[in-house]
Amino acid sequence: MQLIKVIAQRGDDPSVEVDYDMAENLNELAQQFGEEIIFSHAKRSIVIALQGHMRSMMDKGKEEGKSAADVATAILESARNWKPSQKKAPRSTQEKARDILSRLSPAERQELLGEYSRKKAKGEQAAA
């Protein structure tokens, strides 16, 4: 067992933090919660992960201009061999911004960055 910190927050309310004794492997989880509960939670988590995979494929298909029928076919084929994986480390805000900017056309990117630069310069002048 390992003591972990669990934090919960709702909106602007203060967060609440608890220390929780958590199992460190599957056998300990089964002892701590029971096999039925572990199975139920795993099944729900796997369904949610598959839905996320499907949504990602929908978004990608839309970005690439594919028809809904082609996207649906690709999802059906992908789902046959899909397996959940360990969650990737979250991407930084900079990584997300780079990804979004890379999808823009050069003209759109230049317009957006120019707009940002003008707003930033205006804000710095107001602060001075």
Task: Dump pLDDT digits (tens) for 73-93.
Answer: 999 999 999 999 876 767 788
Whether the predicted pLDDT of 95 surpasses 70: yes
Can you give the pLDDT at residue 128?
A: 60
Phi, psi (degrees; rounded to nearest 5) at 24: -110, -5
Residue 55 has a pLDDT of 95
Taking the domains of the chain in order of start, what are their residue ranges? 1-33, 34-85, 92-128
> In sequence order, which residues have a C-beta less than 8 Å from that of residue 84 and are 6 or more positions away?
45, 46, 49, 50
Find the Cα–Cα–Cα–Cα dihedral 95, 96, 100, 103, rounded to 10°. 50
pLDDT for 4-30, tens place per residue? 999 999 999 999 999 999 999 999 999
CA 17 centroid distance within chain: 23
For position 52, what pLDDT does the model report? 93
Q: Report the predicted TM-score, pTM, of the whole model to 2 decimal places.
A: 0.59
pLDDT surpasses 90 at 99 = no
